[in-house]
Amino acid sequence: MPPRRVKVNKDINTDTNKDDNSDKTTNKQTEPQNTVNIVLEPVQEFKHDYITEYNKSNDKNDIIDKIKTIKELDEFEKEIKEHKVKYDIFYDNLKKSKNDFDLRYAQFFNTFAIIRNHYDKVNELRNKFSSAISYSEYTSRRYDDLDKKIKDKRSAIVKLAENKPAGSIRELINIISNPHQQDVLYRIISDHENFKVYLQNFEPNTDKKKKTLKGTIHILGNYNRSKGVRESYEVKVFENDPKGSFWCSCADHKFNSAKKNIVCKHISFIVCKVLKIMEPYFFETKTLTPAHLAKLLDKFADNSEIWKDIQYVRKSDFITILDFKVFPDPLNDICTFCYDEVTTKDKNICCSCPICKHGFHEECMGVWMENNSKCSFCSNDIWKYYKRIKAGEEKIKLTS
């Protein structure tokens, strides 16, 4: 009796057909699934061929062997499918890990961008800090240079102050080597009335914040013909200032003091004509010694005789008979006309030269004025105004 045919492979065949159909309809597989299919597809084809041979075979032993082989193939296929499930789970986990990695990478990239931004800001601050340090070092060097210049200038003051002073402004001109300064000194000894310089007043400093400023001297300069008045300037006096002891508001001081290394006409007038300082050191350093500064402050005190001297001081541009009645105290002169003594008790019958302050008898001066207009003692032509005042003019403009 032939062996009974056992249909053990319909389900298998059906599953195989389903798998084949799924392979045809499925889109491009992911990498783990393709790897499993590479192993699974040959097994299924081999199993399909065995089933076909089994259905055609009539040999009992051959049929039993084929059934055994088909069962082994079924087991192997089942095992492969289990591995496929594991591979799918593994792949899903891998995809999740990749997504997590992508998320963490994006976070890392953002964090890196923030760090890079902070790094750029730190570099910017470091550059600013380096610039600040460089400027601080430059300022420190600048301060050291200025400090050295001040010390050198003080040493030069002491050294030059030991030199023998000149006897007159003309002698001082010959000692000074700067030709621009020589021109300035020539201008202050000019006898032309329009080019003379006069003091007006001294205003002591009352501002405690300006510690180095001692006061301000008000000056009348050249006569301005177009305006009909003298130009007025301010000369400020300083103590222990690195730029010098004086500052003047005139253009010559502003533009030529440093450029040509000069002391302007108005400061030179104060130093040479009023204070009688004929020492070259001042024109090299532009700074008074402490002794000379004390002399200046004493000279410009309110009760100083300098304010009575019309040769240096002019409160206005007019002259009156009172200017010829200013006498030194005590008065003790010799009239250069009659050779009699002129003393304090003779003030009522005497007059004096506004320039040299020498006293004369009014009667003697009247006779002298008939043929002369200059002082018989100092030869200044200020007496031409005296003749006009005596003729009836109350006050006369000095430049007329």
- Residue for token digits 């076909």? 52
When pLDDT is cut at 50, 70 and 90, the band that residue 66 belongs to is low
* pLDDT of 14 above 60: no
Confidence category of residue 163, pLDDT binned at 50, 70, 90: low
pLDDT band at 47 (very low <50, low <70, confident <90, very high): low
**Lowest pLDDT segment from 105-109, 157-161, 185-189, 248-252:** 157-161
Angle between helices 60-161 and 10-25 (to 10 degrees): 30
Tokens 């003790």, residue located: 332
Residue 100 has pLDDT above 60, yes or no: yes
Q: Which of 5-14, 52-61, 121-130, 257-266 has the lowest mean pLDDT?
A: 5-14
Structure-block tokens of residue 110: 């953002």
pLDDT, mean of residues 348-362: 89
The answer to whether residue 400 scores a pLDDT higher than 70 is no
Contacts of 400 (CB under 8 A, 6+ apart): none
Residue 278's closest CA among 158, 396, 176? Answer: 176
More confident residue, 342 or 322: 342
State residue 248's pLDDT score. Answer: 95
| Percent of the chain with pLDDT strictly greater than 70 | 79
Residue 181: alpha-carbon gap to chain centroid:
32
Most confident of 31-45, 187-201, 259-273: 259-273
Cβ atoms of residues 184 and 283 within 8 Å: no
User: What is the C-alpha separation between 242 and 149, in angstroms, rounded?
Assistant: 8
Q: 297 is written with which tokens?
A: 């402050």
Q: How far is CA 377 from the centre of its chain?
A: 58
The confidence score (pLDDT) of residue 20 equals 46
| Residue of higher predicted confidence among 196 and 60 | 196
pLDDT over threshold 90, residue 268: yes
Average pLDDT, the chain: 80
Residue listed under structure tokens 């010959």: 174
Of 56-70, 83-97, 162-176, 254-268, which one has max mean pLDDT? 254-268
pLDDT for position 135: 86
Overall CATH class of domain 318-397: alpha beta
Bridge partners (DSSP) listed for residue 202:
217
Q: Which residues pair with 199 in a beta bridge?
A: 219, 313
Tokens (6 digits) for 249: 């508001």
Asked whether the predicted pLDDT for residue 33 surpasses 70, the reply is: no
Helix, strand, or coil (residue 388): helix
Reply yes or no on whether the pLDDT at 92 is more than 50: yes
Judged against a pLDDT cut of 80, whether residue 345 lies above it is answered with yes
Report pLDDT for 215. 94
pLDDT at 390: 87
Q: Which residue intervals of the chain bear CATH 3.30.40?
A: 318-397
How confident is residue 316, by pLDDT bands cut at 50, 70 and 90?
low
Q: Is the peptide bond before 330 cis (omega within 30 degrees of 0)?
A: yes
Mean pLDDT in residue range 161-165: 61
The rounded distance, in Å, linking the Cα atoms of 70 and 16 is: 13
Number of H helices, E strands in the chain: 11, 10
For the cut 60, the answer to whether the pLDDT of residue 29 exceeds it is no
CA distance 292 to 278: 11
Give residue 63's pLDDT: 62
Name the β-bridge partners of 343: 332
CA angle centred on 116, ends 115 and 121, rounded to 5°: 95
Q: 87 - beta bridge partners? A: none
Q: Cα dihedral angle (130, 135, 139, 140), rounded to 10 degrees?
A: 10
CA 41 to chain centre: 87
What per-residue confidence (pLDDT) applies to 334?
93
pLDDT of residue 22: 46
**Mean pLDDT (whole number) for 268-288:** 91
- Residue 238 or 357, more confident: 238
* pLDDT at 223 exceeding the cut of 60: yes
- Model pTM greater than 0.95? no
> Does the pLDDT at position 335 exceed 90?
yes
Token pair recorded at residue 383 = 């007496």
Q: 276 with 170: CB under 8 angstroms?
A: no
The arithmetic mean of pLDDT across residues 80-94, rounded, is 83
Is residue 321 a contact partner of residue 197, using CB atoms and an 8 Å limit?
Answer: no
For residues 399 and 149, the model is more confident at 149
